[in-house]
Amino acid sequence: MFALRSPSVAYDPAMTAPGLLHASHDPVTSPDPLDPLTRLLPSSPASAPAGPLTTAARLLAESLLGEMGDRWLHTRGVAERAAGLAAPLGVDADLLTAAAWLHDIGYAERTVVTGFHPLDGADHLTRGGWPVRVAGLVAYHSGARFVAAARGLSEALAVYPDERTVLADALTYADQTVGPDGARVDPASRYAEMLHRHGPCSWNARVDADRGPYLRAIARRVEYLLSFTEAGALP
């Protein structure tokens, strides 16, 4: 069983230039506020095989998404993008790339419970014994908390750690710089395409006023850090 644990505090997400904080490491022990019998009972399909996180994550993602066309192309592209960001940003490559492989597994038919893919993906991982930190990264990727609030799922999401670190930002940045077909795109184009694809009455459109600025701030923070690595030193 993997043993990663999650930091409960990280750098200030309101800052354009990140300021890193010391984090405590506490496991999430909160009970599930919705339906624990439906959502969090152990199940074998999500069980993580032995070996590095990335290898296990890729195998699970492929088993769930491999026949889903563009969803699989996007997932592969995000994983590749994340792997390339890890070293320049100085974060755990295995953890980041694993989370990237897993970020959209909540779209797979056999994982769907609530219909909210970040939560369904995180719950599926929890049922399979994956580390809480991995589940938390999946649960909160790409500003999921805004949509969760609009859908009345904030309490359900709150059983997972909302990690606000460079690594969490890198996961969101990877997701927001890869289009549905797996091709690289800029964050603004990706966000505009997403709003168009989901439509003006979608949950994503309803939370645009909050989620849009949040995602743009993440892009600025990551690109700020990358500009220093390109110059040869991090701030």
DSSP assignment string, 111-124: G-SSS-HHHHHHHH
Instruction: State which residues of the chain have pLDDT below 50.
Output: 1, 3, 5-39, 41-51
* Cβ neighbours of residue 96 closer than 8 Å, sequence gap 6 or more: 82, 83, 85, 86, 167, 170, 171, 174
Give the model's pLDDT for residue 75. 98
The confidence score (pLDDT) of residue 56 equals 96
Q: Provide the pLDDT for residue 234.
A: 53
> How many Å from the N-terminal Cα to the C-terminal Cα in the chain?
36
The domain segmentation of the chain, as residue ranges, is 44-231
CATH architecture of 44-231: Orthogonal Bundle (1.10)
DSSP state of 46: G
| pLDDT confidence of residue 10 | 36
Dist CA 32 CA 159 (whole Å): 6
pLDDT given for residue 21 in this prediction = 26
Question: Cα 159 to chain center, whole Å?
Answer: 15
pLDDT given for residue 2 in this prediction:
53
Please choose, from the candidates 140, 72, 136, the residue with its C-alpha nearest in 3D space to the C-alpha of residue 108: 72
pLDDT of amino acid 11: 37
**CA–CA gap between residue 19 and residue 85 (Å, rounded):** 19
Phi and psi at residue 25, in whole multiples of 5°? -125, 95
Q: Distance between CA atoms of 177 and 220, rounded to whole angstroms?
A: 13
Kindly report, residue by residue over 53-106, the tens digit of the pLDDT. Answer: 999 999 999 999 999 999 999 999 999 999 999 999 999 999 999 999 999 999
**Crossing angle, helix 166-175 and helix 208-231, to 10 degrees?**
110
Token pair in block for residue 15: 């800052």
Q: How far is CA 183 from CA 81, 163, 180, 212, in A?
A: 10, 27, 7, 21
The pair of structure tokens assigned to 185 is 């795109």
- Give pLDDT, residue 30: 36
Round to whole Å and give the CA distance between 98 and 134: 8
Q: Rounded to an integer, what distance in angstroms lies between the CA atom of residue 80 and that of residue 16? A: 25
pLDDT at 5: 40
Write down the pLDDT at residue 144: 97
Question: What is the value of pTM for the model shown?
Answer: 0.77
Structure tokens at 105: 């597994």
